Chain A
Amino acid sequence: MADEKGPGRITSSGLALGALLGILIIVSIWLFAAKPWWFPGLTSIHGAEIDRVFNAVLIVTGIAFIITQGMLGYFVARYGSAGSEHADYWHDNPKAEFFLLTGTAVILVVLVFMGQKVWLNYYFTALPKDAVTVQVTAQQFMWNFHYPGADGKFGKTDLTLVDPTNLIGLDDKDPNSKDDIVTANDMHIPMNKPVVVRLRSKDVIHSFFLPNFRVKQDAVPGLAIEVGFTPTTAGAYEIACAELCGAQHYKMKANITVDASDADFNTWLQARLKERTGD
């Protein structure tokens, strides 16, 4: 004969599991609040918006995490079986269900709106006409950067012209290509000026990932995809490939330098042009 409802018992297993969940909560708070490791240093205007969205989601999910894991930990510690007594008998609470369901939905709607504001701003704001435009062509396992030069016009490219010395197939006969600059794994941009990257791939899918700039865009063969950003801090950063593209995927790295002034940027362009024309 089972006892009627007893108080329940704190069992060693329950207490241990509850304690572990407590430790999990504390360690998570340390990792996400003290931030011993965190995002790579931010250096773009829209990146600040992305980080804000991340932080908003972090606050909401963080609170949910602490409450739910905390409740689970408390319950397992508190409600161990003391033998044959009965548990509470209830298995429905439509009011509580409705409240929690609506609450969750409302919070999610807020998050959707916050996130979509940033997303739509980023993708549906027209890219400025005076932006520095760079054509980026990805290939196994390197990045080619193509600048239009002083005339502001890109020379024609033709994939049948591709050879080991002309990786993007730049047509030398096109007058627009005379002052074009093509570099391998080396990109420069001027600080505080909008940049438009026109992204292509020659072979498989790659992904143009600029961790410091909060930019990530797949390079898809057959498509030319434009993505824009404005760098805010001069310095040297890295570009990585974030989409598995073959055996040497991990080596598909380029350097990106944000030049402190337009003059620095132009000096770099001139030097690259000289290298190419051999003057």
Chain B
Amino acid sequence: MTDTQGHHHEGEHAHPQLGFWRKYVFSTDHKVIGIQYLVTAMAMAVIGGTLSLLMRLQLGWPHGSWPFLASLMPRAFDSQGHMNADFYLSLVTMHGTIMVFFLFTAVLTGGFGNFLIPLQIGARDMAFPFLNALSYWIFLASCIVIFSALLVQGGAPLGGWTAYAPLSALPAAGPGQGTGMTLWITAIALFTASGLMGGLNYITTILTMRTKGLSMMRLPLTQWSLLITAVLGLLAFPVLLAAAILLVFDRVGGTSFFIPGGIVLNNKLIEHTGGHPLLWQHLFWFFGHPEVYIVILPAMGIASDILSTFCRKPIFSYKMMVYAMVAISGLSFIVWGHHMFVSGMSPFLGSVFTITTLLIAVPSAVKTFNWLGTVWGARIQFTSAALFSIGFVSMFISGGLSGPFLGTSAADIQLQDTYFVVAHFHLVMAIAPLFAAYAGLYYWFPKMFGRFMNETAGKIHFWMSFVGAYCVFFPMHIIGIGGQMRRIYDPLNYQFLVNQQIVNVFISISAFVLASAQILFLVNFFVSIWAGKRATENNPWKATTLEWEVPCPTGHGNFGPELPVVHRWAFDYSIPGATEDFVPQTAPAVPAQQERH
């Protein structure tokens, strides 16, 4: 942060005026990079969401004919306008991959992480701004590569986002398992590299660049969650990267890491021997389970801070919130086997993983109690951001409570690979994080763009999303109990599923309602960037954290000539005796007030 004149930390005024390209495109400013991540991830969400609507079309009306869609995508439909089975599975695969990696991981850590870390810790930028920009551009490349998988000969891969070997290791095992699968692996490898760069940067920045007075236990929970998430990423992503590289070797190099001997394809014994298919699953889920928390932890942090702000009440039991996140992240590395209870893994290991998995319910329950404790006795201001953060809590409870069914290995025998699992993880790691991300967008939008999003549209967006999401995902528990398998193109092929098809129709109709609310959000977002109500104050929500000390939007360098000094924790709302119902972190301690932390 030294400019050409040798001045140190002169703030935004010392930065030379940058041209359009340097300022908005090839920027190293963390705020621009954060917004780039957000907007790119939104584009990916539109793709991933559209794919899910095509899936719901097929699941709601498995024998339906869609001549209009067939004319748009002739390779995906047959001559009568019925969707092809392999296309359906590539929808499943691409929807899962795009949403898990390119939407949720990208929005929450890439988007909010980059935008908020320096602003909330009182720093001028990330520790390594160039690495930060590089991380974004590699992420963008990975988005382009994964999207291109939809367009190549043979189509996108159809092995699911989990890409189980040997289906993923054998290009001859199905359409899309050739070039499409290769592009999938490439995209995941690029994404992993990008995530590692981001993670290193986040950890270094939060640990070393906090402003004066901002001790670890004064950090907003968003910062704690981003720090823990970055550590999880650094430990988990390399395992996925390694597995992906081994998979490439199996596919093109003739190795047999994941391919056992004795595989017969098209009635011919193939020349592989000695590998083990479960090795892929162990590696994948060793990454995959922490990945769940890479998505949910930042959502927890963001929702906690926003909830506290609009409840006008300190977060309940801040320390326990931090410890719970640390506990969850630690445990997340020893629970992966609960994805594999019926995989052929030793049943003894099933017992071990049941115990570790149910352990993780304890810190998760702590978080839920503490959110309830925060809302209890609050004075809630029902802004769009507040509604979405309350919605987050409800979705997290609903999704979390189906966890113990699946974590109990005996019950999981029946439920594994059914829609019960789909219901569980969509509520807990898709809808809950989505709600937290929306809360964050409505909340920090003025800090990003200097304008507000439209609140009326925001509230309509919330009510439709809240009802829509429950109507889509809650009944999935029921059809899962009824036995409907995941990744099935035509449930009507099974007698035992015919009676509950009406539920699938209901879910599909609800999905279209849910999607229409997201269109409303997108319109609101982009219109508000240019035409929203101007944010004239630094701190429109009367919040305590450091990003609200600076103008909306914030210039390059974030803070003025002096960096802020922190005197208190981030949750001083409604202190008895204080004139206002909030005290910013920068306000010096006054003897009359009860000093906290």
Q: Mark B82-108, 1 if CB is under 8 A from A, else 0.
A: 000110010010000000000000000
A242–B417 touching, CB < 8 Å: yes
- Scan residues 90-126 of chain A and give those whose CB is less than 8 A from a CB of chain B: 90-93, 96-97, 100-101, 104-105, 108, 111-112, 115-116, 118-120, 122-124
A101 to B366, CA, bound (A): 7
Least CB distance, A229 to chain B, in whole angstroms: 11
Question: Is A162 in the interface zone, CB < 8 Å from B?
Answer: yes
A163 to B269, CA, bound (A): 10
B372–A159 touching, CB < 8 Å: no
B166–A203 touching, CB < 8 Å: yes
Stretch at the interface among B9-17, B135-143, B212-220, B485-493: B485-493
A14–B410 touching, CB < 8 Å: no
Least CB distance, B520 to chain A, in whole angstroms: 18
A57 to B376, CA, bound (A): 28
Complex contacts, B173 vs chain A, CB 8 Å: 140, 203-204, 246
Complex contacts, A8 vs chain B, CB 8 Å: 377-379
Question: Is B248 in the interface zone, CB < 8 Å from A?
Answer: no
Complex contacts, A272 vs chain B, CB 8 Å: none
Complex contacts, B153 vs chain A, CB 8 Å: none
Question: Is B479 in the interface zone, CB < 8 Å from A?
Answer: yes
B398–A65 touching, CB < 8 Å: yes
A79 to B377, CA, bound (A): 6
Complex contacts, A88 vs chain B, CB 8 Å: 313, 376-378, 574
Complex contacts, B587 vs chain A, CB 8 Å: none
Question: Is B238 in the interface zone, CB < 8 Å from A?
Answer: no
Task: Report if A116-B410 is in contact (Cβ < 8 Å); known contacts: A90-B377, A91-B314.
Answer: yes
Least CB distance, A143 to chain B, in whole angstroms: 14
Complex contacts, B481 vs chain A, CB 8 Å: 37-39
Complex contacts, B174 vs chain A, CB 8 Å: 140, 246-247
Complex contacts, B342 vs chain A, CB 8 Å: 207, 216-218
Complex contacts, A68 vs chain B, CB 8 Å: 368, 372, 397
Complex contacts, B482 vs chain A, CB 8 Å: 37-40
Q: Mark B490-502, 1 if CB is under 8 A from A, else 0.
A: 1001111001100
A2 to B580, CA, bound (A): 6
Complex contacts, B320 vs chain A, CB 8 Å: 97
Closest 3 CB pairs of A and B: A222-B260, A88-B377, A13-B382
Binding site for B on A (CB under 8 A): 1-2, 4, 6, 8, 11, 13-14, 16-17, 20-21, 24, 27-28, 31, 37-40, 49-50, 53-54, 57-58, 60-61, 64-65, 68-69, 71-72, 75-76, 79-82, 84-93, 96-97, 100-101, 104-105, 108, 111-112, 115-116, 118-120, 122-124, 139-140, 159-160, 162-164, 167, 169, 202-205, 207, 209, 211-212, 214-218, 220-223, 225, 237-238, 240-251, 253
17 contacts between A and B (CB under 8 A): A17-B387, A79-B377, A81-B380, A87-B378, A89-B314, A90-B316, A116-B354, A119-B354, A140-B174, A202-B264, A204-B166, A204-B170, A220-B278, A220-B343, A244-B158, A247-B89, A250-B490
**Given A37-B500, A79-B380, A163-B267, list of 5 further CB < 8 A pairs?**
A54-B411, A81-B380, A97-B366, A246-B158, A247-B158
